[in-house]
Amino acid sequence: MSSMADRRIARCFDTAQKTGNGARKMIIPFITAGDPDLPTTLSLMNTLVDAGADIIELGVPFSDPMADGPVIQAANERALKHQVSLEQIIDLVAEFRQSNETTPIVLMGYMNPIETMGYKRFAEHAAAAGVDGVLTVDLPPEEAEELVAEVNAKNIDTIFLLSPTSPDNRIKQVCEQVSGYVYYVSLKGVTGAANLDVDEVSRKVTNIKSMSNVPVAVGFGIRDAESAKAVASTADGIVVGSALVSLVAENAENVDNMRKSLFELVNAMRVAVDEIEA
* Secondary-structure class of domain 4-273 per CATH: alpha beta
Closest CA to 205 of 196, 218, 224: 218
R_g of the chain computed on alpha carbons: 17
Q: Which residues are catalytic?
A: 57, 68
Residue type, 164: P
Q: What share of the chain is helix, strand, coil (3-state, %, to 5)?
A: 50, 15, 35
Residues 138-187 pLDDT 10s: 998 889 999 999 999 999 999 999 999 999 999 999 999 999 999 999 87
| Cβ proximity of 184 and 26 under 8 Å | no
Q: For the chain, first and last CA: distance in Å? A: 35
Residues 41-75 pLDDT 10s: 999 999 999 999 999 999 999 877 566 677 888 88
Phi-psi region of 63 (alpha: psi -120 to 50; beta: other; left: phi over 0): alpha
Residues 10-44 pLDDT 10s: 999 988 876 655 678 999 999 999 999 999 999 99
pTM here is: 0.93
Q: Where are the domains of the chain?
A: 4-273
> Which residues contact residue 122 at a Cβ distance below 8 angstroms, ignoring those fewer than 6 apart?
86, 114, 150, 151
Residues 188-216 pLDDT 10s: 655 545 567 888 899 999 999 999 999 99
Closest CA to 204 of 161, 162, 174: 162
| Spatial distance between the Cα atoms of 232 and 44, rounded to a whole number of angstroms | 23
